[in-house]
Amino acid sequence: MRKHIVAGNWKMHKNNQETIALLEEIIEKKEANTTEIVVAPTFVNLLTAVENTKGKGITVAAQNMHQAEGGAFTGEISASMLTSIDVKTVILGHSERRAYFHETDALLANKVDTALKHNMRVIFCFGEELKDRQIDNHFKVIEYQLRDALFHLEKSDWSNIVLAYEPVWAIGTGETASPAQAQEMHKFIRTLIDKVYGHEVADNVSILYGGSVKPDNAKEIFSNPDVDGGLIGGAALKAEDFLAIVNAF
């Protein structure tokens, strides 16, 4: 059975003290729930987050990592650095990494391989730009992104892959894909995975939606049969909003 997951991508927000305060509030206010809660603070606060969430039912994830095992890559972080502090989930392929740091699907394929080699779970982000949707090219774009970054994987690798469909035009814009648009794309993705890897992989992979999910639209988006959770940006920075989204299932 696939899991419901709500992941908060904190991006370059929250210093060390603010990280502790936000986590304390999430821990204090969260209700018993079968939905997995993931938080992704910036690298420098990961260890603090791990220490402050121990035994509290919260998964700490990194927002990125380098594909190499180690070496002369100033400013970068490796998979083994993450796992050594108990961070075993990593977000890869976020549209901001693609747009501002020129990450391509070929590079992301390498990053995914490195993460899986270290037994990490990958939350893999992908999504079309507005111009693709305007010319009705969005299904093709999604198919190529998945093919180029993930379809070299073995069937068994998929137990460590979570997909996050994030239409770029809906990220941080207040513009959300309608529940029908989200379901249409999530169904397309699951059908594609089914064609390439078969029913078992397709049924078991969690597909999250990301793009301006807020407390007031989460329920409608999550009520779709192929939407298994959300990757949340802005609304993950306030405990109440984030938890309202978690509770929307």
Applying CB under 6 A, which residues contact ligand PEP? 9, 166, 171-172, 210-213, 231-235
CB of 6 to ligand PEP, least distance (A): 11
177 vs 201 by CB, closer to ligand PEP: 177
Task: Tell me how far apart the terminal alpha carbons of the chain are, to the nearest angstrom.
Answer: 16
CB of 197 to ligand PEP, least distance (A): 25
Which helix (H) or strand (E) covers residue 150, if one does? helix 138-150
- In the complex with ligand PEP, which residue's Cβ is closer, 226 or 241? 241
4, 36, 94, 96: the catalytic one is 94
Strands (E), 24-120: 36-40, 58-62, 89-92
Catalytic annotation on 186? no
Nearest distance in Å: CB 154, ligand PEP: 28
- Find the residue with minimal CB distance to ligand PEP: 233
94, 203, 210 from 233: Cα distances, Å = 11, 26, 8
Compare residues 102 and 195 and give the one whose CB is closer to ligand PEP.
102
**At its nearest, how many Å lie between ligand PEP and the CB of residue 177?**
11
Residue 132 or 166 with smaller CB distance to ligand PEP: 166
Torsion angle defined by CA atoms of residues 126, 23, 114 and 2, in that order, rounded to the nearest 10 degrees: -60
Give catalytic status of residue 152 as yes or no: no
DSSP per-residue string spanning 99-149: HHS---HHHHHHHHHHHHHTT-EEEEEE---HHHHHTT-HHHHHHHHHHHH
**Angle of helix 138-150 versus helix 105-117 axis, rounded to 10:** 40
Q: Which of 36, 96, 128, 166 is catalytic?
A: 166
Active site residues: 94, 166
